[in-house]
Amino acid sequence: MKLSTSLPYLTRVAHLLGCVLLLVCVVGCKPATSIRGDLVDEGGIPVPAVVDREGKALPGVAVTVAGTDVQAVTDAVGQYRLQCPPGSWQVTFEKTGYTPAVINVDLPSGASVDAPTATLWRLPVSKGLFAYFDYQYTPLERSVAERFLVKEEENSNPKTLFGLRSVPILILQESRPLIIGYKTPAYDLRLDKLMKVTAALPQRPGASLPPAKAYDQEIWVAKERLSLRTLALDEPEQLLYALDWEADLEPGEVYALHWGALEGLRTEEKFVFVFQYLSPIMVAEMEAAEEAALAEAAALAEAEEKAE
């Protein structure tokens, strides 16, 4: 069979092919849509779409759309753009050293959508409980509970309590500080107000009770339990959680966070995390007293030097 190569024939074939392609596109193609994380403000300055808790742009964040091969990496100003078909999409943001973040975006046909800002929390360098202030993590002092004998009255029989020897205590100046847990259990966590008592070290099994003079150990024991709950700060991994309690902390009081160690329980997390709340006035008075003591010591040293 010999095909015609005349110009009218080729024109008719090209027209027919064009109609077929148009029909396929109308039936099977969807208009291009995008998730826009590359906006600018009125002054033409780029607006970061991925930020840390300080609101600073995060570059190098991996951005992926769940269930697809669509992905991007944020640039130096924390921006990106994703080309996606219409639909409801879950967008995930991941960067080493930070919590992941997730946003949900609905893309209508033939339109683009401005992405909401994604915020990633910087992670602490190690596990524990931390006071979070001015975008910085300060670890709470930690200790290990021990078993002691304590007498409630002078002539009463001693009872066993679990307490803490004197340890350095982190001083907080907020009655409702933000305390964050990382890689520690978010369940069965307790918040106790502490008090000081004198105690004796436990004796060997079968030994007689220690004499009265042996009760010379000053320790911290639980005094009062405060209602406490934990709140996840990131989804879905829940790497970080914040602590929330009902009442303000009381100035001058010492508190402990633990998972049952002050009750003698063997738990996944053995440490007790201790802190103290001092009001700004108390801190100022303490600092003034320290300065006065230093000035007095310097004056005394100067007087002794002149006497020599």
254 shares its domain with 158: yes
What is the pLDDT, as a whole number, of residue 205? 65
Burial class for 62, CB neighbours closer than 10 Å (0-12, 13-18, 19+):
middle
168 shares its domain with 46: no
163 shares its domain with 75: no
Q: Of 81-95, 118-132, 289-303, which gets the smallest average pLDDT?
A: 289-303
Residue 282 lies in a domain: no
> What is the pLDDT confidence band of residue 207, given thresholds at 50, 70 and 90?
low
105 shares its domain with 152: no
252 shares its domain with 235: yes
Average predicted confidence (pLDDT) for the chain: 86
Question: What are the strands of the beta sheet with 240-245, ordered from one edge?
Answer: 136-139, 128-133, 179-182, 240-245, 228-232
Residue 46 lies in a domain: yes
Other CB atoms closer than 10 Å to residue 72's CB: what's the count? 19
Tell me the CATH number at 51: 2.60.40.1120
Residue 272 lies in a domain: yes
139 shares its domain with 271: yes
Give 192 or 283, the one with higher predicted confidence: 192
Q: Indicate the residue among 62, 94, 119 that finishes a domain.
A: 119
What's the DSSP call for residue 211? P
103 shares its domain with 169: no
Model's pTM, two decimal places? Answer: 0.78
What region does 274 belong to: left with phi over 0, alpha with psi -120 to 50, or beta? Answer: beta
Q: How many domains does the chain have?
A: 2
Structural domain range at position 106:
31-119
Kindly list the distances between the CA atom of residue 293 and the CA atoms of 64, 226, 289, 290, 297, in Å, as whole numbers in the listed order: 60, 37, 6, 5, 6
90 shares its domain with 215: no
63 shares its domain with 188: no
Residue 241 lies in a domain: yes
What is the pLDDT, as a whole number, of residue 24? 34
Q: Indicate the residue among 53, 85, 119 that finishes a domain.
A: 119
Q: Indicate the residue among 75, 102, 119 that finishes a domain.
A: 119
pLDDT digits (tens, 9 = 90+) for 243-280: 999 889 999 999 999 999 999 998 889 999 999 999 88
pLDDT digits (tens, 9 = 90+) for 51-76: 999 999 999 999 999 999 999 999 99
What is the pLDDT, as a whole number, of residue 82? 96
270 shares its domain with 141: yes
Of the chain, the end-to-end C-alpha distance in Å amounts to 127
Rg (CA), the chain: 33
138 shares its domain with 102: no
139 shares its domain with 214: yes
**Is 42 strand, coil or helix?**
coil
C-alpha to C-alpha distance for 32 and 43, rounded to whole angstroms: 28
C-alpha to C-alpha distance for 277 and 253, rounded to whole angstroms: 6
